[in-house]
Structure 1
């Protein structure tokens, strides 16, 4: 019997590969780790997703944004936007899984589960 198709973590948006330890409960696996299971998706995470989409819709076709733009917009003047960088990247990965955006590096689409370093986000054509 072939291994089931990978899933996407509901919290961080990374790919979850099938593991033998999950064989009996694969249909119910939603998170890639205990950390993601504890974190889940917060109101701030949802706000970041909406902000990413809003910023992209304000740009001309094919334009990209940096996750920092969404982090700055959500943080406003009162908070340190740096704390929202990883949540903004997670939001982008969840939006990739939903088919709404693509993550690029150097102008090429990359796998959000393995991308390291600076990324850009654009609407899916």
Structure 2
């Protein structure tokens, strides 16, 4: 079976025997993600990431905090994890890549500072 990507957090969902009967319908990696489906703020973060990257030269990167600041204003710090989730969903859609130290990384396992760039 092929792995899937969580519709909320964008992390990889590995096939497990417990989902064998219903694998086609699995969309979320956890109950928490099932409860927090992407909302207007999440969609605004995705749009912000794409718009910020469209304004940059080819191959240039942005930090997820730039999208969080654009969407959240003074409360941008609360949007850092939602911005990272939005970035992982955009990676799954094939729109962007997540990098660390200039190298493309797996969005499901990346820890620490990340940068975002167009594919």
Query: Given the two structures, how large is their TM-score scaled by the length of structure 2?
Result: 0.99
Q: Deviations over 1:86-120 (max 9, x none)?
A: 00000000000000000000000000000000000
CA distance in 2 between counterparts of 1:97 and 1:75 reads: 24
3-state SS of paired residue (1:80):
helix
Moved over 4 A (4+): none
- TM-superposed deviation, 1:80: 1.3
Larger Rg: 1
- CA shift at 1:12, angstroms? 0.2
1:25-104 to structure 2, matched below 5 A, reads 25-76=22-73, 79-104=74-99
Which runs of 5 or more structure 2 residues have no equivalent in the other structure? none
Report the aligned-residue RMSD.
0.5
**Cα distance in 2 for residues equivalent to 1:68 and 1:105:** 15
2:111, 2:31 → 1: CA distance? 22
1:26 and 1:13 map into 2 onto residues whose CA distance is 17
Q: Which runs of 5+ in 1 are unaligned?
A: none
In structure 2, what is the Cα distance between the partners aligned to 1:21 and 1:96?
27
